[in-house]
Structure 1
Amino acid sequence: MEIRQLRMDDYEERMALSQFAFQMRFSELELETRRSKYRPDCDWGAFDEDGRLLSATLIIPLETWIQERKMAMGGIAGVATWPDARRQGCVSKLLFHSLETMKKDGQSISMLYPFSFPFYHKFGWEMTVERKKYTIPTGLLPARLHGPGTVKRVAKPDFAVLDRVYSTYASKYSGTLARNSEWWEERIFAKSGTWAVYENESGQPEGYVFYDVANRQLTVHDWADTSEQARVALWTYIANHDSMIDEATLIAPIDDPLPFLLPNPKIKQEIIPYFMSRIVDAEAFVGQYAWAPGVDGEYVTLRISDAQAPWNDGLFRLEWSGDGAGKLVRVTDDNGGAVDENSVASEAISCDIQALAAMLLGGRKPSMLKRHGRITGDDRTTALLERRIPEQTVYLADFF
């Protein structure tokens, strides 16, 4: 079996595999349009000795907000295998190769939407993103309130204006994408719907909503607000559709306060497990992460297990400066060799790479993970690690 990047002359076979695996059908025009945008340098395949494509996966070069910092992220997508090649280790080899590739390319973290959570969990990904879905009958929509500023419909807003609002909004969360102009054009503007932008009294945009109305249902595609005035004004705008809709649906962050703010909170709320994340390169990631400030020189010892990425597997010292800079250093003996782990076992926190992602990318507290047996360690060390991890809600509005 050969693992290699795809080439343009692999395009037809890749499209045939994707259409079969994901039960899609593209017209000839759609296939030609996709060909013009195809990036074989991001696509990897497993081939048999006759050069036949068996399995493929896409690594999308993206950036994500983590603790108010942008980080390079590899988005795994389009994982597909022909039926006669399944259960032969194709995807395992591709995912291992993907980890090596992302590490080499400086993508210290990865995210994906799983067809099966257990499947990707065994390869080191962990569920980190949950979202709320609201279904709100017209009679329970937020009250219409008149405040400062205005909401105006626009045919197609300026990308730069939207991106400034979105970036301010998205940076409040961990896991949101840092969208570029290509993402806006191909993933957001490509959808049909109506745009409305909120401007404050000074004419500065502070929020927007992108939505569609069909069959008496209003569906919000995209929403961002950077002030309470913007939030209230956008909900008032949505409520003004009351004569033409029976209900509105919206995806929101897990900590969204809307039900508490409603006069009658008995709306339908669904908690939906969404994306999984993985730490690709623990040493690089720790150095990029914005840790909470504390006492200079504080540290914990971590025993990390990672069967798929041996560079993450082992005994490490996680140390911090006073202002929150972190460093992960592999623990060795005086000769640079492996140490006797029994000598530090009593003070070390033991975790797998999935639990590390849950703590640093998924908002799960070390104390909670310890209580449920996902990590081990003494109470003092666990409490220190918990103090050094800033609290921030995890959210992802996009899909890939």
Structure 2
Amino acid sequence: MEIRNVRLDELEKSLELAQYAFQYMLNEEEKKEAQEKYIPERNWGLFEDEQLVAKLVIIPLEVYLHGRVFSMGGIGGVASWPEHRRSGWVSLLLRHALQVMNDSGQMLSFLHPFSVAFYRKFGWEMLSDFKKYIVTTDKFPPKEIVEGKVCRDVVDIATLDRIYQKYAIEYNGTLVRDESWWERSVLDDDGHTAVFYNASGEASGYLLYKIENKELLVDEFVYLTDEARVGLWTFLSNHDSMVTKIVFTNIPANDMLPYTLPDPRIGQEFVPYGMARIVNVKRLLEAFPFKPTEHEGHWKIQIKDRDAPWNEGIWSVNINGEGKSTVGLLNETANDGDEKLSCDISTFSAMLIGYMRPTELHRLGRLTGPVEMANMLDQIIAPQQTLFMDYF
């Protein structure tokens, strides 16, 4: 058994496995494009007798956390042949991927799970929930005239990205997008864009949407001002003769749309989306922007992480009045009598990324130790809504 990069001359075998596992077919043009864009250093395979039996890809990305940018390794394309499943090969690949990401300096890792329970075993935890709305035409809000205009099918990525980055920085977990990501992973040849410009000509909101089978499908509804929200809603409502409903996805879990509608009794669903994991506890804690306080803070936490042993142990964290931390790994044989918190890496990930609050985790028994310490963490870890709208 050997784990190594999948070479370019082995790409065809990798594509065969991907197409079988994810049940799709590539035509010759798509295979050629995949070959032209292939980066062997990101693709890892487990080989047995020189035969590829399992694979995954690590995509170097960046995400926002409390307004700062953190390095993240996106795990995708995890697959194995059915005759080799439940043999532990994917487990070995995931542990290898954690080592690779740690060696590369990536602090976080995100993925989209085929099974939440499976990836929880390796330390990933839920990243975000988004709201899905179904609004039938009879529930559309009244059309309002606002100063400004909406332009359809705007293809200027720089304009879209300026709006997106101002929006994304207000959430935890949102991806930092570059131009190639917009082209490759966000914009769709079959979809439409619509941008709201205010009276000064400044772009302050956009939509990504499609129209299919008399349904208007909105993948991203992004706005920086209430004026932009109203202007974009009026644009959507003007489709009332063409569609029977609007289906919104990727709406933040704390969104208040129903409150703004004349009749808030619309279809609503919370959809868990994406999983996240801390790759390196020490690096993340040292870079994490804790809330400034009048007094310095000190706490200890014991973290269990079977699959990334460099995170295992009792960590001592000192935070100064500016919210900057000094982090050290204690000798577990030394017992100084200080009380400490304790949890596994998935719980710690959910807490620092913001999917769950420390006191919530303490009440659930996932974070154990003195409740006073959990309360202190509630004070120094700012609440921030998580949101992840991308797929890889």
- TM-score tier, shorter chain, comes to over 0.9
Give the 5 Å matches for 1:112-127: 112-127=111-126
Give the distance between the partners of 2:391 and 2:219, measured in 1 at CA: 11
Distance change >3 Å, CA 339–CA 148, structure 1 → 2: farther
What is the aligned partner in structure 1 of residue 152 from structure 2? 153
Give the 5 Å matches for 1:88-237: 88-154=87-153, 156-237=154-235
What is the aligned partner in structure 2 of residue 387 from structure 1? 379
TM-score by length of 2: 0.97
Q: What count of residue pairs does the alignment treat as equivalent?
A: 391
SS in 1 for 2:167: helix
SS in 2 for 1:301: strand
Amino acid at match of 1:207: G
Deviation at 1:285, TM superposition (A): 0.8
Cα pair 2:45 2:54 within 8 Å, conserved: yes
Q: Deviations over 1:43-69 (max 9, x none)?
A: 101011x21111001101111111111
Give the 5 Å matches for 1:45-64: 45-48=45-48, 50-64=49-63
Q: Deviations over 1:104-144 (max 9, x none)?
A: 11111000110001100000001121111001101112221
Cα pair 2:126 2:355 within 8 Å, conserved: no
Give the distance between the partners of 2:316 and 2:96, measured in 1 at CA: 27
Cα pair 1:305 1:353 within 8 Å, conserved: yes
Q: Which moved more, 1:138-147 or 1:98-107?
A: 138-147
Amino acid at match of 2:3: I
Q: Structure 1 vs Structure 2: percent identity of aligned residues?
A: 40
Deviation at 1:83, TM superposition (A): 1.4
Give the 5 Å matches for 1:343-362: 343-344=336-337, 347-362=339-354
Runs of 4+ in 1 over 4 A off after TM superposition: none
Give the distance between the partners of 1:143 and 1:360, measured in 2 at CA: 41
What is the aligned partner in structure 1 of residue 278 from structure 2? 279
Q: Deviations over 1:279-303 (max 9, x none)?
A: 0000001122221111343111111
Give the distance between the partners of 1:36 and 1:190, measured in 2 at CA: 20
What is the aligned partner in structure 1 of residue 390 from structure 2? 398
Cα pair 1:4 1:45 within 8 Å, conserved: yes
TM-score by length of 1: 0.95
Deviation at 1:74, TM superposition (A): 0.4
Give the distance between the partners of 1:220 and 1:299, measured in 2 at CA: 46
- In the alignment, structure 1 residue 17 sits paired with structure 2 residue 11: no
- In the alignment, structure 1 residue 33 sits paired with structure 2 residue 33: yes
Give the distance between the partners of 1:249 and 1:191, measured in 2 at CA: 19
Cα pair 1:291 1:325 within 8 Å, conserved: yes
Amino acid at match of 2:38: Y
Cα pair 1:145 1:232 within 8 Å, conserved: yes
Cα pair 2:167 2:222 within 8 Å, conserved: yes
Amino acid at match of 2:235: Y
Give the distance between the partners of 1:379 and 1:67, measured in 2 at CA: 25
Give the distance between the partners of 1:213 and 1:108, measured in 2 at CA: 39
What is the aligned partner in structure 2 of residue 305 from structure 1? 304
SS in 2 for 1:275: strand
Give the distance between the partners of 1:83 and 1:191, measured in 2 at CA: 34
Cα pair 1:282 1:328 within 8 Å, conserved: no
CA RMSD of aligned residues (A): 1.2
SS in 1 for 2:57: strand
Amino acid at match of 1:44: W
Give the distance between the partners of 1:148 and 1:359, measured in 2 at CA: 42
Cα pair 2:129 2:273 within 8 Å, conserved: yes
Deviation at 1:3, TM superposition (A): 0.7
Give the distance between the partners of 2:178 and 2:211, measured in 1 at CA: 27
- In the alignment, structure 1 residue 254 sits paired with structure 2 residue 250: no
Give the distance between the partners of 2:302 and 2:241, measured in 1 at CA: 60
Cα pair 2:354 2:384 within 8 Å, conserved: no
Give the distance between the partners of 2:351 and 2:120, measured in 1 at CA: 15
Give the distance between the partners of 2:191 and 2:107, measured in 1 at CA: 36
Give the distance between the partners of 1:354 and 1:283, measured in 2 at CA: 15
Give the distance between the partners of 1:339 and 1:108, measured in 2 at CA: 28
Picking from 359, 374, 381, the partner of 2:366 is: 374
